[in-house]
Amino acid sequence: MPLIFNLRHLEDKNLRLKGELPVEELEVDALDELIHVRSPLAYDLEVQGLEKAVLVQGSLRLMLQCECARCLKPYQDWLKLDHWVCHLPLEGEGQVTPVNDCVDLTPYIREDIVLAFPQHPLCKPDCRGLASTRKQTEKKPGTTAKSESAWAALDKLKL
């Protein structure tokens, strides 16, 4: 079930929305092959009616199942949007179109979550990558050990 609120409930007071949004509603699992969402999104939001708009603010938390882009090891990481804010105009350009006086927040949440995904997920900042791709040259007498650079073949080119 999407995250919906009724505009008529804002006439008297602000709304407090707290709970979990199922993964299926977010539709974000197939967007990145290194990032998977297996647990529901936890939200704690306050919805405030303004003169010609709605202001939603609060926190969003989501556990991500990631694969490191360097070593491909699986790891978990929290995606936290502690100060999430969404301004929804009810008139003018970019206005929200209520259906039966209800507004669905799910597309706005989805957009901000996808933008907050790590662009290059790493299990740790200093991850060295797959061990099989790191080649060490053997130490010869009188020389120092040096790792083969990915650019070494290009350095040998004479143009």
Asked if residue 148 is part of any domain, the answer here is no
Domain of residue 98, residue span: 4-129
Q: Are 74 and 65 in contact (CB under 8 A)?
A: yes
Tokens of 51: 């003169």
| Domain total in the chain | 1
Residues of the chain whose pLDDT is less than 70? 132-148
pLDDT in tens, 138-154: 445 555 555 567 778 78
Asked if residue 144 is part of any domain, the answer here is no
Asked if residue 114 is part of any domain, the answer here is yes
Asked if residue 156 is part of any domain, the answer here is no
State the pTM of this model. 0.76
Asked if residue 140 is part of any domain, the answer here is no
Asked if residue 141 is part of any domain, the answer here is no
Tokens of 56: 């939603």
Q: What is the pLDDT of residue 26?
A: 85
- Phi/psi for 43 (5° steps) reads -130, 150
Q: How would you label 73-93 residue by residue, b for 16+ Cβ within 10 Å and e otherwise?
A: eeeeeebebeebebebebeee
Q: What is the pLDDT of residue 108?
A: 93
Q: What is the pLDDT of residue 133?
A: 46
Q: What is the pLDDT of residue 73?
A: 93
